[in-house]
Structure 1
Amino acid sequence: MESNRVSPLLSFFGAVVALWLVAPMFVVVPISFTGARSFRFPPPSWSLRWYEGFFQNTEWLVSALTSLQVATLSSILATVLGTAASYGIVRGQFPGKRFVQALLIAPMIVPVVITGVGTYAVFLKWNLVGSFVGFVVAHTVLAIPLVLITVGSALAQFDRRVEDAAAICGAGPAATFRLVTLPLILPAVATAAVFAFITSFDEVVVAIFLVSPAVRTLPVQLYNSMIQQIDPTVAVAATLMLALTSIFLTIVLLVRKAGGQS
């Protein structure tokens, strides 16, 4: 009876928190369609002029393309490396295993500003600051913890009897992983890849330390535009980022649902 009395209260607080999190979306999206020359909410008139300006502006388009390229490559690398690391940590037995696991998850725990300063100091010596490769490497490091946790959870719950059955049938370790283990954990791997992509695409703090006139991601372009000159084009960029992120999160939900049904 007590839990039933608490449940409506928890539901209320959950609804308040959810509303608080999504409230900015209901402001930014309408502003991106405003006909005014500045931020006004609610918009006095409606127009697509700022979307036209966004897609006609070379700086915005180049930064968006750079973000897509960096996010794609870093998500692929993070998924491959994170899956391999997850398999080694979950299945392996070696000295310092917990330390290695904590080290791989550290980018998720350490304040991102500290990560940005450290990345800048190291990449400066390696001549990676302001380079496309530097962005890919940095974002890969930031995304690996998400892959490690997501895939590691799937491997920890994996029924190893199917692998034993494959071994009895003569399959080696590599063939067993490729034909048995990987297909069964594929929903978790796909989910991890999407999370890695979103992490890279939305990242701004570390990117600010690595930015150069030649290589600039969309979040950094948005940040610089807000500092230099605020106009509704910023809301357009934010809306497009929100839309892309929502699409990928929907993909995650569909993949997880398909994996649960299978």
Structure 2
Amino acid sequence: MALPKHASRLERIWHYTYLVICALIFLFLMAPILVVIPLSFNAEPYFTFTEKMLRLDPEGYSTRWYDLLLTFGMQAPDAARDGSWWADAWSNAAWIQATKNSIIIGFFSTLLATVLGTIAALGLSRPEMPGRRVIMAILISPMIVPIIIVATGLFFFYSAISIQDWGIPYLGVILAHATLGIPFVIITVTATLVGFDHSLTRAAASMGASPTLTFLRVQMPLILPGVISGALFAFVTSFDEVVVVLFVGGLDEQTIPRQMWNGIREQISPAILSVATILVLISIALLTTVELLRRRSEKLRGLSPG
């Protein structure tokens, strides 16, 4: 907000002081990311800036750690990079396998969380819904309860029902991540439904539309930005989660965060910084998408002048 021309001297001092404080807080929050990104291009196997990097010497920078993400775990990493080399990387590279597992788990957990969270949000948006506050508190509790408690409870619950013997790969992790993602979907869809005009659904019903048709043709187009935003938050939650995977995931269910955790414990490699940089870029892209969807949702509901 711009400072008005009639502001006093004290107000101007406070205005600029406030901007400086905000900038310092932003720098404090962004400092770990700003440090990780250049370190991922370190030519040496260190987690600190070398003398060549500080001098901006090109020899101090390298993409060797990004290349290691493709070659680590391969049977013949030094072979010619032809079709067989890429087939070897796709089948055996540890980081690629972790990426595939993360995408599979993230996709199905997001799909499940989006469907259940949207249904719950539609029900909670109705004023005649009994015990809405209690139900809402229960459904969003995975956001409040420490993740270690959730992971421990899921571990004992899965052990009691022997879910590992059901023969369905990734099932336990998918259900666990869906549980963690549902609150995000509920919150975003509920926020979208705040400005929803329910007279539209009543008008559709009076014209003979069935509840399913009313939802698909009237409600869904208006709340779609909120649904997609919730789905993106659920996917990011699944993609970055490691504690639950450590408790309930099988040995062959290595996700990217779990692979990073194993790398920190077993062998310290700057390749972890390369993965962290890639995850930061993915998160920025997803958050940008969420912001664009939020603005589109406000425009559809008439809450913004655009």
TM over 0.5: yes
Q: Which amino acid aligns with 1:195?
A: F
5 Å-filtered alignment, 1:31-180, equals 31-41=39-49, 44=53, 45-57=60-72, 58-91=93-126, 93-128=128-163, 131-180=169-218
1:125-171 CA-to-partner distances (Å, cap 9, x unmatched) read 23336951111000000000010111011112211122222222221
Q: Which amino acid aligns with 1:217?
A: T
Give the corresponding residue for 1:230: 268
1:193 match: secondary structure = helix
5 Å-filtered alignment, 1:247-262, equals 247-262=285-300
1:157 match: secondary structure = coil
Distance in 2 separating the partners of 1:40 and 1:153 = 44
Distance in 2 separating the partners of 1:46 and 1:4 = 44
1:57-88 CA-to-partner distances (Å, cap 9, x unmatched) read 22111111111111111111111100000011
Give the corresponding residue for 2:30: 22
2:46 match: secondary structure = coil
Q: Which amino acid aligns with 2:20?
A: F
Structure 2 gap segments, 5+ residues each: 1-6, 54-59, 73-92, 301-306
Kindly indicate whether the alpha-carbon contact (under 8 Å) linking 2:123 and 2:129 is maintained by their aligned counterparts in 1.
no
Q: Which has the larger radius of gyration?
A: 2
Give the corresponding residue for 2:88: none
Kindly indicate whether the alpha-carbon contact (under 8 Å) linking 2:65 and 2:271 is maintained by their aligned counterparts in 1.
yes
Q: Which amino acid aligns with 2:115?
A: V
Corresponding pairs, count: 262
1:32, distance to aligned residue in structure 2 (A):
1.1
Higher relative contact order (CA 8 A, sep 6+): 1
1:94, distance to aligned residue in structure 2 (A):
4.3
Kindly indicate whether the alpha-carbon contact (under 8 Å) linking 2:105 and 2:170 is maintained by their aligned counterparts in 1.
yes
TM-score of the superposition, structure 2-length normalised? 0.80
1:20-76 CA-to-partner distances (Å, cap 9, x unmatched) read 111111111111111102212256411111111101222111111111111111111
1:119, distance to aligned residue in structure 2 (A):
1.2
Distance in 2 separating the partners of 1:203 and 1:3 = 45
Distance in 2 separating the partners of 1:90 and 1:67 = 33
In 2 relative to 1, CA 7–150 (structure 1 residues): closer, same or farther, beyond 3 Å?
Answer: farther
Distance in 2 separating the partners of 1:116 and 1:129 = 16
Distance in 2 separating the partners of 1:85 and 1:59 = 38
**Stretch of structure 1 that moved more, 172-181 or 135-144:** 172-181
1:217, distance to aligned residue in structure 2 (A):
0.9
In 2 relative to 1, CA 92–138 (structure 1 residues): closer, same or farther, beyond 3 Å?
Answer: farther
1:186, distance to aligned residue in structure 2 (A):
0.6
Structure 1 gap segments, 5+ residues each: none
Distance in 2 separating the partners of 1:7 and 1:243 = 33
In 2 relative to 1, CA 165–6 (structure 1 residues): closer, same or farther, beyond 3 Å?
Answer: farther
Distance in 1 separating the partners of 2:98 and 2:225 = 31
Q: Which amino acid aligns with 2:144?
A: I
Distance in 2 separating the partners of 1:248 and 1:55 = 24
1:6, distance to aligned residue in structure 2 (A):
4.6
User: % of aligned pairs identical?
Assistant: 37
Which of these residues, 234, 241, 257, is aligned with residue 203 of structure 1? 241
Q: CA RMSD in A?
A: 2.0
2:123 match: secondary structure = helix
In 2 relative to 1, CA 33–4 (structure 1 residues): closer, same or farther, beyond 3 Å?
Answer: same
In 2 relative to 1, CA 6–174 (structure 1 residues): closer, same or farther, beyond 3 Å?
Answer: farther
Kindly indicate whether the alpha-carbon contact (under 8 Å) linking 2:172 and 2:249 is maintained by their aligned counterparts in 1.
no
